[in-house]
Amino acid sequence: MVRTPYGPVRGRHEHGISVFRGIPYAAPPFGTLRFKPPVPPEPWDGVRDAGAFGPTPPKPSYSEAFAQYLSDPVIPGDDCLNLNVWTPEPMPSARLPVLVWLHGGALTRGSSAVPVYDGRKFAAAGIVFVSINYRLGVEGYGLFPDAPANPGLRDQLAALEWVHRAIGAFGGDPDKVTLAGQSAGAISVGALIAAPQAQGLFRRAVLQSGPPEAFERDKVRRMVRRMANRLKIPATAEAFAAIDRDLLLSTQAEVGRLSSPVLGGPAFGIVVDGDLVPRDPLQALVDGDVAHGVELLMGWTRDEYRLWLVPGGLLERVDRMGPVALAGAMARCHCGHEVPRGYRALHPEAGTAELVGQMVTDKLLRLPLRQLADARPGSSYVYEFAWPSLRPGLGACHALELGFVFDTGETPESAKLAGDGAPQALADAMHEAWTRFVTTGKPGWEAWGTAHPVRVFGEVGGGREALDGVAHEAGRGKAALSGVGKPADGRRTEAGSGPHAADRMAHTAYGLRDRELALWTAAGAEAVAPDEPVDGPAARDPLLGRAARRAELRSAVRRLRRAGGVRGR
């Protein structure tokens, strides 16, 4: 039993770890509190049972195409602003480091109850692990004239404030908090690092496959207006609050059906609100105005885009669309023809879908994370996850690294993405690196600097057959999976000696990823793909040459979305 600011809770002993689930950190956000900022929960009398996960926030289910890869349990109930704690030593004298986890799911799906996020292994390593639920979709990120923006992000801030006040009773040290998240969770981490109200609530941060960013307010407004048009109501919080919850979710799912990170489309996101998000989070962090001294661990997977294109067969359809798909990517990334030409030069054997996927991933994810690392050298650590899934076609896709970071590969939910028989040695290496970062601020390789050190996890022999789920025995050994392998540019880097030599080794020095990211500057594009003569392919291809018009690009994006009809992030 542990006492919280609102009353005592009783957890469970599991595998030598004390686990507390479903602890309220804010009141149920419904009734008069719907679309409002979170408020403290009502204190309770007696001891509250904390043996089971609490209710999950309202959310639509994944489409059938995505459900075969991603799990998203639904637990009914209104008291959905709750959190969970795994601790090896629930007593104030322990003063252990704390890891607070924000789940992903495009700010529309996901919860802390996903089995992949089990915190037992972190607790076994001497860390107090906390995972939280927060409002999603229109409830958490709808933009209305009569309600404050970003209530879901405000939920996360309220949970962090709860941790700061209460975690000491669970054995945690409120001065040693690391805030971590993946995908939309990482985007949220980026916003909170820059939020004035969150300063001092954590000292380290982990951003996995998600950059600090703010959506255009008009883009979120369009999502709300489209929902309002279908529901035949005003686009106000008051009108939305009167709608049946299930109808609201089904309408949200239908309006967002054609959106995806690669293709764009209507979506919910964090917006600049003049308060919690006073300016673009990335710009605030790059300018150095906030979060001085916060240490950062951040990175991506090699084939992020494959989770968004493989389900439903969109990968093959994008390949068939050829130049139209490339034009759509140009519109999505706001770039000229020199960028796709540069990617073609770097990847001469790649299909259109791979070029489009890497372009969008680099522009929307890797480039801003790299910009953040450049602005904070010496205190930033960068990684790439390169192990290809054993499931056909997925490669090293978005979210695949989670089962390795949490060391929960034995769960069926992890196997949905990784396949059966994922290498334990890779989980050992990643989980240890994250544990070291939470406890010491140093994950085990060189901090970002002029040499661009990137720790590559799980590099295998390469070859497109890996993307079809064929195991590469040469890349399966313990040494290869713990860091001895080929960096992204194909040059082998040797590990040193000692028990953690492989983890100290960093893949460095201007490899393929550097050359890709250089394409987003004019000088870089010219270096990789010099101008062709006027009668070259770019001149003959109106979608890649100067004759490309905005109308053609917008049409290409619409055709891609209609061809896809998929969602997820």
Reported as a single tens digit per residue, the pLDDT across 270-319 is 999 999 999 999 999 999 878 888 999 999 999 999 999 999 888 999 99
Among residues 164, 398, 431, 507, the one annotated as catalytic is 398
SS (H, E, C) 190-244: HHHHHCHHHCCCCCEEEEECCCCCCECHHHHHHHHHHHHHHHCCCCCHHHHHCCC
Read off the pLDDT band of 486 (50, 70, 90): very low
The CA distances from residue 262 to 63, 356, 392, 515, 567, in Å, are 17, 8, 20, 21, 10
Read off the pLDDT band of 566 (50, 70, 90): very low
Rounded to whole angstroms, how far apart are CA atoms 3 and 166? 8
Q: Please give the pLDDT value at position 201.
A: 96
Q: How confident is the model over 316-338, as pLDDT tens digits?
A: 999 998 888 888 889 888 898 89
Count of beta carbons in the 10 Å neighbourhood of residue 75: 16
CA nearest neighbour of 304 among 255, 367, 239: 367
Q: What is the mean pLDDT of the chain?
A: 85
Angle, CA 81 vertex, CA 77 and CA 87 arms, to 5° = 110
96 phi and psi, to 5 degrees? -90, 155
Count the residues in the chain: 569
507 assigned to active site? no
Is 529's pLDDT higher than 60? Answer: no
Going by DSSP bridges, is the β-strand pair 12-14/17-24 parallel, antiparallel, or unpaired? antiparallel
Q: Please give the pLDDT value at position 150.
A: 98
**CA 165: distance to chain centroid?**
27
Q: Please give the pLDDT value at position 23.
A: 98
Mean pLDDT over 131-139 rounds to 97
Read off the pLDDT band of 498 (50, 70, 90): very low
Read off the pLDDT band of 524 (50, 70, 90): low
pLDDT greater at residue 480 or residue 432: 432
Least confident span in 66-75, 227-236, 450-459, 506-515: 506-515
Is 492's pLDDT higher than 50? Answer: no
103 assigned to active site? no
Read off the pLDDT band of 567 (50, 70, 90): very low
Is 544's pLDDT higher than 50? Answer: no
Q: How many C-alpha atoms does 422 have within 13 Å on its Cβ side?
A: 29
Number of helices followed by number of strands (H, E) in the chain? 24, 13
Read off the pLDDT band of 259 (50, 70, 90): confident
Among residues 139, 213, 295, 304, the one annotated as catalytic is 304
The CA distances from residue 467 to 387, 456, 502, in Å, are 10, 18, 25
Residues 6+ apart with CB under 8 A from 90: 2, 11, 18, 169, 170, 171
Q: Please give the pLDDT value at position 149.
A: 96
Q: Please give the pLDDT value at position 157.
A: 98
61 assigned to active site? no
What is the model's pTM? 0.86
Q: Of all helices (H) and strands (E), which one includes residue 96?
A: strand 96-102
